[in-house]
Structure 1
Amino acid sequence: MNRALVLLLSLTCGISVGNIYFPQAISPLVATGLGVPVDAAAMVATAVQFGYSIGIFLLVPLGDRVPHRLLITSLLAITGLGLLAAAAAPALPPLVAASALIGTTNVIAPLISPFAAGLAGERRRGAVIGTLLSGSIGGMLLSRAFGGSLGEWLGWRAPYLVSAALVLIVAVVLACALPSTEPPSAQRYPALLGESLRLLRTEPELRRSCFYQAMVFGSFTAVWTGVALLLTSPVYGLGAPAVGALAVVGAATMVCTPIAGRQADRRGPDAVNLVCTIGTITSAALLAVGSFGGAVGLVSLVLGTLVLDVAMQSGMVANQVRIYALRPEARSRLNTAYMTCAYLGGSAGSWLGVRAFAHFGWPGVCGLVVLLSGSALAGLLLSMRRRGAGAAV
């Protein structure tokens, strides 16, 4: 696991993850372009998240059975074709269907993470995972800015076309650059799927990680789905590029995740999770001021989304450090269970965020964040208390 390979894999994660998030920034443009309500167009972002959850469950376990080079490059090629289909969609239903396909096959980052964890030494695992996550964060942030700006300039179809070109180019590069590896399992596909469920049932540390990330990631997607509606509403009257510009502020997260990885290696995942869940609740208080509009509201949105981004991504690193230490021979299956739960939480958060905004406005979205992240904090504190009591005995 040399530095050049880590950087290449990090770039690949960024390009792949960007395909999941740029639809959040262009949903108002999709609504205008296809002549549908804004809340209906938001279903495009929800479909991608839901498809991603399905893809994680159905495809990521193959990382323990199929050589990574073949699996990753094949899925990238299919994703590129799905992006081309989305760009050509004549109406909302075909676009939603293509978005679900994109999400399903775009599970490159969850495949790369256990692959890299296996190549890295135990002492570097957290740092390598943090670097890969930095690439994912860069893709997440830049894709929103890229999608909003390019969509405003050339129409909502342009981001899909450019993304398709990037994905297909990366597929060719990885076909030449990825090392050949032997898969650790010879289990048949149905057994691989069943193993992910069995691990979720038998590994309490995996269940803890799944719950924490589902709650915090649900908060994250609720905010980013709702903030596009807030910024383009009469409160601010801004366009889609404003959503992308707000996302770029979170670039500081790219620096924080490697630090979080090193702290998880040194202090343990629980300490990092505790800081992250408290940070998520704090972000809700900052974000709530955004409902007043004006300069003060914009500043609060910038600060709130920055804190939220750092907390969610740093918590992701801590949770993956925890689960990859459980069963080295089943890292893809562990990551399948973990990421499926996380993105089901993200899909639910996106859906609930739209509904909360429709019924209660931006304060409703902020209240939803407190409810979800508060549940994660309560579960973490209870677990830490039990561990402390067990240690005392």
Structure 2
Amino acid sequence: MERIYLDHAATTSTLPVAMDAVMEQMRVGGNPSSLHSAGRRARATVEAAREDIARLAHCDSAEVIFTSGGTEADNLAVKGLFWKRQASNPRARKILVSSVEHHAVSEAVEWLEKNEDAVAIWLSVDATGRVDPDTVRAEIAQDPEAVALVTVMWANNEVGTIQPVAEIAAIASEYGVPMHTDAVQAFGTVPVDFRASDATTMAISGHKIGAPMGVGALIATRAAALEPVLHGGGQERSVRSGTIDAASIAGFAAAARAAGENLHEEANRLATLRNRLIEGVQELVPDATLRGATPETADEMTAGVWRRLPGNAHFTFAGCEGDSLLFLLDMAGIESSTGSACNAGVPRPSHVLLAMGLDEVTARGAQRFTLGHSSTDADVDGLLAALPAAFAQAQKAGLAAHTPDASLWH
């Protein structure tokens, strides 16, 4: 059976140019911290990569701190900013965090609450998953000295909504509060300008744009006060110790160069494909409701106006369990995602959808289809051909059981 992959938000396939770059650096070898010729060559590869990634992120190359991925970058930012702020001002205990953050951020905040006396202030969102900047201002204005940091993601990994990061960062800056943004889903997909955003730190990841898994970066201004999470050799501005993975970094840079070469064109291509997918699903399955921000029109795409990620189409399907629909689609050759957490084999509704005001039953019917560089019209056609029958079977199974009935898949 030919497979159709519609889960690019989870990871996308590695680009050939990235694989070539990884293999070339692995062949030549060398530790970038060594002083001999091999080490200097590896260091040159890393520094060239730093410049390539900085170019796509619109930041200085010195602001790029390489990590093992987005999760580490988020933890370094959230914990590092909190600890430094606390050291200079013990009253600064509040962390303003959006209620729709990726678990890499939300669980880092919860850990600080449990272990470091932090106080989480969960910022509400509207029905599309968007944070209102006025909400942030109101929270900070109550007592600016009590706020350690603000963290709001650039774009949501589940429903694709793009946040007003620059507006929120400007408010935080006005009060002298550092701002972190998780841009893992946005980087390399829509224009991301770190310098213009006025954020203090920003997390990005390689495997979302066609680089290998296991490499990412924290973009941090020179003035960003960060306490290290890892201690050791003092690499990466003495903020992130550990032997630098030159091969993966070379692959990350190759993917970033490829993304930067046709960012606008690819965003428009994916959004056009996404809009056709959305229209097809809504026509074939009236019980499907699109979640997240309103999709852009063709004119808005041309103008570079983005409210949601170009490749994201997130629905809730009334009367069925999202996991049932996922497994039925998988049997039909379609690979998608529910976008929800699953603990100990028990499906749970998405915290993002609950924050957007959905009830638990509705939220459990979630299904996320995400497009990427390898997606084609044929992929959308395949989904639209398989979806009605899969939905009918999933709806027949209903929401009564947390564990889907395997007998209904045959």
Q: Would you call these one fold, judging by a TM-score over 0.5?
A: no
Q: Name the structure where strand makes up a greater proportion of residues.
A: 2
For the pair shown, which has the larger CA radius of gyration, 1 or 2? Answer: 2
The interval holding the TM-score normalised by the smaller chain is: under 0.3
Q: Higher RCO, 1 or 2 (CA under 8 Å, sep at least 6)?
A: 1
Q: TM-score, normalised by structure 2?
A: 0.27
Q: TM-score, normalised by structure 1?
A: 0.28
Q: Name the structure where helix makes up a greater proportion of residues.
A: 1
